[in-house]
Amino acid sequence: MAHYELIIRGGTVIDGTGADARVADVAIKLGRIAAIGTELGEADEVIDAAGKLVTPGFVDVHTHFDGQVTWDSRLAPSSGHGVTTAVMGNCGVGFAPCRPEQRSDLVKLMEGVEDIPEVVMIEGLPWNWETFPEYLDALALRELDIDIAAQIPHSALRVYVMGDRAVRKEAPTADDLAQMRGLVAEGIRAGGFGVTTSRNVMHRTRAGDLAPSLYSDVNELCALADGLSDADAGVFQIIPAPAEPAEVEFPILRQIAEHSGRPVSFTLLEVAGQAGAGWRYHLEGLTQAAKDGLTMRGQVAPRPVGMFFGLDLSLHAFSSHPSYKGIAHLPLAERVTKLRDPAFRAAVLAEQPEDTNPTTLALINAFRAAYQWGDEPNYEPSREDRVDEHAKAAGLTLAEYAYDALLAHDGKALFYLPAANYSAGNLDAVREMLGHPSTVMALADGGAHYGLICDASFPTFYLQRWVRDASEAERIPLPHAIAELTSKPAELIGMTDRGRIAVGMKADLNVIDLATLRLKVPTIAYDLPAGGKRMQQGAEGILATIVSGVVTYRDGQHTGALPGRLVRRTSELLAA
């Protein structure tokens, strides 16, 4: 009789291919799925999964763990939501390649774009690399709770090649472009999975300076894509300019795909104020691209792309008021005491926000459209519950109401702003985007936006909202939903050894009780280097997560196991 290290017995197996569910045992040996069926034999450990789902581990292609992975072995919050592989280096920001004298530039950029405090990165980053291949070598030494993979960030690459000229709006020379092209090819051959960039003008340093990638033209983007072509591997990931018409942006995306012959993956959002239904234009473009033999994928968030406000978070209605800035360094309890002083309240209310970063001022102004949360998450609020509507009903100015509301629960009140994907007050556009054959569920941003966004919980939300709790008309069939979390993103990024439950595949798995699956309200944890804070969001109903055949989480609690490693794009991986 065969003997295995682990058997998950009697679960409802959803294999990640889109095939119908079946009840079966899954046996694991030497980190691989060794057998699927019934009466498979004995094992050192058995997990009883009767009545529960058994799925492949989730693959998240859009994270920003580039820094956290160097100082933390647990890639939370993502690892608490069934993610077993995270792909980082998105949006053109990251930390390699980087010369010693350029470190501060990349830290300040990551602080502004991804809301990671500068002091956290100064304290946490070991900087035991310069080139991108050296960065991969440094990551290969790490032991983690999930697997990671890296992409080459354009802004870092541009600064590495062009120095100060990269941020002075100077065009690259032919030699600059040749160097960038060569470095992309070198990075892919060393094990990178793609190159990434951004055209989003909201991507700035904290002081308001644009990300270096924003100074690039299409020829420069195509030079990066040429590096992928030279290596004959890798994906081109890009954030289009959200304020520009889709009729302008999609042809650029398509040009990159046609020029390079490589897959192009881009952020796809329903954006308020964008001319026409730009997201639908993108979907039509994806349909035509598929007919023309181009591989293009839109990355779609399963809920509003929103942000949180609060006194203990990065932003709130008064975070840029001069008087508040004077107390911002104090512990929360001391700030609350000061804010409750009538004289201080009057001083703050008499001021206007001051900041050199227009994006910060725009976000603060958007507080008027936020919603105060209670004991349960509410990602689909009604317009009448907006802060400005409550202020009007109370007969107060927006500032007066916001000031008092922020002090609720001893200053721990949480406010949620649903921004993109919710301009109509519903998720109809999201459902249509999710249902397109050339999109993939993504954009969770794990490892970033520590005090502003907490979207690493996307997988849990997706299964809860679109599978279990959806109406019959909008429900995504369970087998298709699991494929969306597993085989589709794995295929997009070029990982053929995971994302499916099949003999010989990597034993990355989840055991889920769909009936009890639920998200919790985010909490604040001071667990980053230098005492930095971040939002954490837990879940219930994920009974076990397994990486390379090792149980890493049981009922949301880490087992202490760290089987996760760097994944390099290699010929062996592609042949798996």
3-class DSSP assignment, residue 466: helix
Is a pLDDT exceeding 80 seen at residue 563? yes
* Record: fold of 58-303+426-473+490-497: TIM Barrel (3.20.20)
pLDDT of residue 573: 54
Given this model, what pLDDT does residue 497 score?
97
Cα(543)–Cα(553) distance, rounded to whole angstroms? 8
267 φ, ψ to 5°? -70, 125
Backbone angles phi, psi at 539, to 5 degrees: -145, 155
Q: Is 151 helix (H, G, I), strand (E, B) or coil?
A: coil
**Average pLDDT across the chain, whole number:** 95
Residue 304: DSSP 8-state: -
Distance CA 170, CA 411 (A): 46
Q: pLDDT digit string (tens) for 388-447?
A: 999 999 999 999 999 999 999 999 999 999 989 999 999 999 999 999 999 999 999 999
329 has a pLDDT exceeding 70: yes
- Quick one: pLDDT at residue 570? 79
40-60 pLDDT, tens digit per residue, is 999 999 999 999 999 999 999
The share of the chain scoring above pLDDT 90, in percent, equals 88
* Region for residue 301 given its phi and psi (left: phi exceeds 0; alpha: psi -120 to 50; beta: otherwise): beta
Give residue 401's pLDDT: 98
pLDDT of amino acid 273: 66
- The confidence score (pLDDT) of residue 572 equals 46
Cα(422)–Cα(430) distance, rounded to whole angstroms?
Answer: 8
Strands 58-60 and 83-88: parallel
Per-residue model confidence (pLDDT) at position 305: 94
Is the confidence at residue 526, as pLDDT, over 60?
yes
Better pLDDT: 81 or 215: 81
Per DSSP, what are the bridge partners of residue 309?
Answer: 415
> Domain residues of the chain, as ranges?
58-303+426-473+490-497, 308-420
- Name the band, by pLDDT with cuts 50, 70 and 90, for residue 575: very low
State pLDDT tens for residues 128-152.
Answer: 999 999 999 999 999 999 999 999 9
* Contact partners, residue 531, CB within 8 Å, separation at least 6: none
Report the range of poorest mean pLDDT among 160-169, 217-226, 250-259, 515-524: 160-169
Mean pLDDT of 504-518: 98
pLDDT of 574 higher than 50: no
Asked if pLDDT for residue 542 goes beyond 80, the answer is yes
The pLDDT confidence band at residue 217, using thresholds 50, 70 and 90, is: very high
- Output 390 or 450, whichever has higher pLDDT: 390
Rounded mean pLDDT, 248-273: 95
For the cut 60, the answer to whether the pLDDT of residue 171 exceeds it is: yes
Q: What is the C-alpha to C-alpha distance for residues 316 and 407, in angstroms, rounded to an integer?
A: 11
Phi and psi of 218, rounded to 5°? -65, -35
The neighbour count for residue 410, using CB atoms within 10 Å, is 10
The 3-state secondary structure of 499-529, one letter per residue: CCCCCCCECCEEEECHHHCEECCCEEECCCH
